[in-house]
Structure 1
Amino acid sequence: MSTQAQKILGIAKAEKGYHEGRSDGHWNNDQKYSDETPNLAWSDKMAWCATFVAWCAHKAGIANLYPVTASCLTGVAWFKQRKQWSEYPAIGAQVYFGKNGGTHTGLVYDYDDEFVYTVEGNTNADGSAEGDGVYLKKRRRRDAYVFGYGYPAFAEGISSADPAWKDKAPMPPAEKPKPPAPKPVPKPVSKVVALNPAVKPGATHAQVAELQQLLIKAGYGPIKGAVTKFYGPETQRAVARFHDRNPAYRSGLHDPRIGPKGFVALQKQAGRR
């Protein structure tokens, strides 16, 4: 989510290259910002640097954080009355120029130890007295032309070069807690079991009943008299049918004895995993 400072500066910088109207070979201060800013329509065709800032604040939905005025001197007084004034630049601050700050104004989008970087309306590229549009400017911080800065009361605080305002600096975004590492999914325990060596034709064993159930489920039945623990002729016939369809597991023709590998294969055919 963008901060209030980022929002107004994004709107202001997007206006770079906008030009006022011309008449009789001169720029005439006829621009859109006066008509589109509540209570400032009267200021059209007048100097519009302060009106531009008020328009940006209105478009950003934070008109209450900047003075709604076409007068630079009124803007300076507005900030000073609220004790939101500094001689140091700040991101999103409204910078004022000239005697008592009454000559010109713009918005600060960046600064360093030597320069302040601004977006300004009703200015120009060549430094002449006649402004014509919206430009990005680079000005020396300690130039006598720079009068001072009005600090908007951004909800997130303000990033400033003023040591007295360091406690108003925006807090860094809180780190989102890392989601817990996914628990390893345990591998399913195989239900396939080994064949007991005692399971063979003619034997009585508990696993014979399991063998009969598997044979029936896998389609090698019917087994008359099942389910029992006795590995009798009916079970042997069913095992032979299994071997007929799966010859890799039989040791001879019509082999009636299930082998260890055949028992594993039978279990998987019956749906065990």
Structure 2
Amino acid sequence: MCRIARNEIGYRETGVNHTRYADEVPSLRWAQNQPWCATFLSWVFLKAGAPGIAPCTASCLAGVAWFKARKRWHLSPKVGDLVFYGPNGGTHVELVVEVSDTHITTVGGNTAGSLDGRYFNGDGVYEKTIPRSSDRIYGYGRPVYSASTTTTVPRPPVKPAHVPQYPGALRRGSVGSAVRVFQARMKARGWRLDVDGIYGADTERVVEGFQREKRLGRRDGVADAETWRAAWLAEVT
């Protein structure tokens, strides 16, 4: 869900509320040229192969009613929840992709945000971070996921291994054999990424998730000495 939604960041509507998402959800083709935040998330669930675990609707209010009727309504967030905004949750909806003690990070359609330093207003798919205390938040609908909600897929047990010599901090833009070694280790731990020796956005995102999962001191996607060592240690929490 999070990967599919994030892959759409930067998509912008054409005309007035015209998107490909309504056309690609058969039951929502009638909703073309209407506000499309809920339609976008219905499309994401469809593309994830799990359309029945959340409402397929173009209406935020219908989404709230769906979750409440199934006792899937919550006031605190988890990754994978849908966050509803405004009176009775009827104004807007987005997917929660990250949760901290104070903020949530979301991906939403028909929303505003920044991309490559430029700000856009309500016309596309964007990622944003907002305070959990925001009075705009009405609550959270929790889809019927089959496993516990985490920032990543469940990890298989990983045995301790010899820690290779730390090559120095790796970050976006780093290339070479050390990056390839680190990527291969993260992939062995169950993270999904290409082992190509290029420290790009996908590797950075995996490292951010790993740092949060392991509660490391650094959580910015830079593989420092602590992150490097943790990658070769046994699974701990």
Q: Which structure has greater strand proportion? A: 2
- Cα distance in 2, alignment partners of residues 172 and 46 from structure 1: 37
Match of 1:11 among 4, 14, 30: 4
Q: Percent identity?
A: 42
Partner of 1:147: 138
Q: Which residue of 2 aligns with 1:20?
A: 13
Deviations, residues 103-126 of structure 1 (Å, cap 9, x unaligned): 000100001111110000001127
Distance in 1 separating the partners of 2:92 and 2:120: 11
Q: Select the structure of larger CA radius of gyration.
A: 1
**Could you tell me whether the CA contact under 8 Å between 2:113 and 2:121 is conserved in 1?**
no
Task: State the TM-score, normalized to the length of structure 1.
Answer: 0.53
For residues 153-192 of structure 1, the aligned pairs below 5 Å read 153-159=144-150, 173-175=155-157
Which runs of 5 or more structure 2 residues have no equivalent in the other structure? Answer: 161-237
Preserved contact between residue 113 and residue 120 of structure 2 (Cα < 8 Å): no
State the shift of 1:175 in Å.
2.5
C-alpha deviations, 1:14-67, integer Å up to 9, x for none?
000000013xxxxx0010000101200000000000000000000000000111
Contact 2:78 2:96 in 1 (8 A): yes
Does 2:70 correspond to 1:79? Answer: no
CA 1:20–1:151 in 2, change beyond 3 Å: closer, same or farther?
same
Which residue identity does 1:136 align to in structure 2? E
Change (3 A) 1:113 1:37: same
Mapped to 2, the partners of 1:84 and 1:76 lie a distance apart of: 9
Q: Which runs of 5+ in 1 are unaligned?
A: 1-7, 23-27, 161-169, 179-273
1:64–1:174 CA distance, 2 compared to 1 (3 A):
same
Is the partner of 1:143 in helix, strand or coil?
coil
Alignment partners' CA distance in 2, 1:30 and 1:148: 28
SS of the equivalent of 1:119 reads: strand
After superposition, the CA RMSD in angstroms is: 2.4
Shift of 1:171: 10
Equivalent of residue 37 in structure 2, options 46, 49, 52: 49
> Structure 2-normalised TM-score?
0.61
- Aligned with 1:88: secondary structure? coil
1:39 aligns with 2:32: no
Q: 2:122 aligns with which of 114, 131, 141?
A: 131
- Residue pairs, 1:117-128, within 5 angstroms: 117-125=105-113
CA separation in 2, counterparts of 1:119 and 1:78? 21
CA distance in structure 2 between the partners assigned to 1:171 and 1:13 by the alignment? 16
Alpha-carbon separation, structure 2, partners of 1:122 and 1:14? 15
Paired residue total = 156
* Structure 1 residue 76, shift from structure 2 partner: 0.4
- In 1, the alpha carbon distance for the partners of 2:154 and 2:72 equals 22
Q: C-alpha distance in 2, partners of 1:175/1:137? A: 33
SS of the counterpart of 2:64?
A: helix
CA spacing shift, 1:71–1:91, aligned 2, 3 Å: same
* 2-structure distance, mates of 1:174, 1:13: 25
- Runs (4 or more) in structure 1 with deviation over 3 Å come to 170-174
Which structure exhibits the higher relative contact order, with contacts defined as CA atoms closer than 8 Å and separated by 6 or more residues?
Answer: 2
The AA in structure 2 aligned to 1:19 is R
